[in-house]
């Protein structure tokens, strides 16, 4: 039997989209107005300062 991961490729693997950008867009989609702007700003600052790739080790 084929597992789900083997039968359907992930959108990022299929279309070359950065999975982090997809996750951020999905997260921000639930917010509106000033809350969305502040959340986007907080994420931008965090992702700029956070070390990258440490979760892949």
Shortest CA distance to 43 belongs to which of 54, 55, 56, 27?
A: 27
Burial of 8 (0-12, 13-18, 19+ CB in 10 A): exposed
Q: What is the CA radius of gyration of the chain?
A: 15
Chain-centroid distance, C-alpha 10: 13
Residue 6's pLDDT is 55
pLDDT digits (tens, 9 = 90+) for 1-57: 445 555 555 555 557 788 888 999 999 999 999 999 999 999 999 888 877 665 554
Distance, in Å, from the CA atom of 42 to the CA atom of 52, rounded to the nearest integer, reads: 17
Measured N-to-C along each axis, helices 19-28 and 33-49 cross at an angle, to the nearest 10 degrees, of: 150
Residue 16's pLDDT is 78
Residue 53's pLDDT is 61
Confirm whether pTM is higher than 0.85: no
């Amino acid at each position: 039997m084929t597992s789900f991961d083997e039968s359907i490729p992930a959108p990022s693997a299929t279309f070359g989209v950065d999975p982090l950008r997809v996750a951020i867009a999905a997260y921000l989609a639930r917010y509106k107005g000033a809350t969305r702007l502040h959340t986007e700003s907080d994420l931008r600052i965090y992702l700029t300062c956070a070390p990258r790739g440490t979760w892949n080790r």
